[in-house]
Amino acid sequence: MDAIRVRGGKPLKGTVRISGAKNAALPILCATLLSDGASRLRNVPDLRDITTTAALLRFLGRQVDVAAPIVTVAEGSDVRPEAPYELVKQMRASVLVLGPLVARFGRAKVSLPGGCAIGARPIDQHLKGLEAMGCKITLEQGYVVAEGPNGGGRLKAAEVYFDIPTVTGTENLMMAASLAKGRTTLINCAREPEVEELARILNKMGAEVDGAGTDVMHVTGVDRGKLSPFDHAIIPDRIEAGTYMVAGAMHEGGEVLLQGAELGDMEPLVAKLRAAGVDVESEGQNVRVARRKPLRPLQITTAPHPGFPTDMQAQILVLMCCAKGESVITETIFENRFMHVPELQRMGAKIALRGNTAVVEGVDRLYGASVMATDLRASASLVIAGLASSDETEVRRVYHIDRGYEHIEEKFRGLGADIERVKGAES
Ligand code: EPU
């Protein structure tokens, strides 16, 4: 397994181009199942989750050509509406084929994803919504089998209330509702920018989706076979952008220009960075982040959008390790998303965990160490911690990072970081 070796201690300076959003590209790739013909996605990041999704779509019978940043998906000869465990276990977002498959082909068999490092992550809300739309759902040997009404018929519109806002749950039901008969109402929806991006695609394809970005959405479906393929450039990745913003703020004197980032989607993070004393300014299509003074501590609670994103919690926690005073960071989305804390403690961070809250006492410096990545965002936080320490850090099991950060070493090197990948390092 590869590792990333970082020798930190100096401020990052320079320009970094922000890639297309992984969490927008994944549901949009799955939306290609809703139509015949060839769809073309532009600004797709070169990531393992994208190649895993491409492999899944091929398994389902599609023709997929990945030449990042362009991916084309066309219909193949036969459709096999089944997502196998081997692919779903590599990437939980594979569950996003469930809604499109059952809506388009009347049947889907998708492996249950199981738990993962950050929490149990059930899909009950996805299934509840599909049932309300007339699906018969059964569980067979670890697989969810969904069948349209009367043995594979067209789904019917329904009113679905989500007990909690779920991003992929909202996306699955938006896609299913696009081919259902009538107007579906989704209540207590996720409001993430990636949900809005999927709505743009479904509208381009010919469905009618209103209210994306609010907590109530209406989706009017069209007949099977009536949605059109599309050509679309994916929005910038707000979490990748946020990660480089935090990295740029780790040292006084750091100044990073993020090319193609959109501040509008990052308000919760930007507000907290400014409260910590970091300068963040929009410059046309770019965003400039500069750290000119010591960091102030923060109180942060993660929440569904437009709250502070759980996908930035690990990174901001590392930043707070270098603030003067005590920060309090509470995680409310996933029950086990502090796996980076014991690794950071090995680097000299002073963090006390009390249930779902981390109390962080800023320290003068972090020390290099060998640390282990446990999930995608935790891995990024350990790389950032390595950049803050003045000696060498080796982050192991970086396959997590390759799922969600495009060319991370090159991008950091472009900002002046001393960072390299060590092929086949010990796990
Ligand atoms: N939940 C349920 N039942 C459900 C669905 C979700 O109880 O049926 C719970 C989850 O266990 C969690 C909360 O609801 O406690 C929110 O989970 P959500 O469903 O919104 O998460 P997700 O859709 O599985 C997406 C992102 C994650 C991101 C979360 C939260 C994609 C592909 N993944 O996951 O991204 O952390 O939303 O914003 O969009 C990442 O990129 O590193 C990542 C983990």
**Pairing assessment for the beta strands 326-330 and 350-354 based on DSSP bridges:** unpaired
Residue among 298, 344, 338 nearest 318 (CA): 344
The residue to mutate among 197, 235, 333, having the most atoms of ligand 1 within 8 angstroms of its beta carbon, is 333
pLDDT surpassing 70 at residue 45: yes
Q: What is the pLDDT of residue 424?
A: 83
What pLDDT sits at residue 351? 98
Q: Which of 329, 316, 318 is nearest to 242 (CA)?
A: 316
Give nearest CA residue, ligand 1 atom 20: 166
Q: Which 8-state DSSP code applies to residue 19? A: P
| Per annotation, catalytic residue among 30, 116, 189, 322 | 116
pLDDT in tens, 282-321: 999 899 999 999 999 999 999 999 999 999 999 999 999 9
Which strand ranges, in their side-by-side order, compose the sheet holding 136-140? Answer: 82-83, 107-111, 143-147, 136-140
List, for residues 225-276, the tens digit of each pLDDT value: 999 999 999 999 999 999 999 999 999 999 999 999 989 999 999 999 999 9
Confidence at 192, pLDDT banded by 50, 70, 90: very high
Residue nearest to atom 11 of ligand 1 (CA): 121
3-class state of residue 353 by DSSP: strand
Q: Whose CA is nearest to atom 28 of ligand 1?
A: 311
pTM above 0.95, yes or no: yes
Check pLDDT > 70 for residue 120.
yes
Number of DSSP helices (H) and strands (E) in the chain, helices first: 15, 24
Q: pLDDT at position 116, please?
A: 73
Dist. CA 335–CA 326, nearest whole Å: 23
State the pLDDT confidence band at 357, using cuts at 50, 70 and 90. Answer: very high
Q: What pLDDT digit, counting tens, does each position of 70-118 carry?
A: 999 999 888 899 999 999 999 999 999 999 999 999 999 999 986 677 7
Instruction: State the closest ligand 1 atom to the C-alpha of 311, by its place in the atom list counted from 1.
Output: 36
For residue 9, pLDDT over 70 is answered with yes
Q: What is the pLDDT of residues 145-159, one digit of tens each?
A: 999 999 999 999 999
Strands 357-361 and 350-354: antiparallel
- What spacing in Å lies between the alpha carbon of 7 and ligand 1's midpoint? 33
Distance (Å, whole) CA 248 – CA 415: 9
For the question of residue 116 being annotated catalytic, the response is yes
Contact (CB, 8 A) for 221 and 175: no
Three-state DSSP class for 426? Answer: coil
Confidence of residue 426 (pLDDT cuts 50, 70, 90): low
Residue located via tokens 């991006």 = 197
For the chain, the average pLDDT equals: 96
What's the gap in Å between 24 CA and the centre of ligand 1?
A: 13
Residue 19: is its pLDDT beyond 60? Answer: yes
Closest ligand 1 atom number to CA of residue 309: 38
CB 95 within 8 A of CB 123: yes
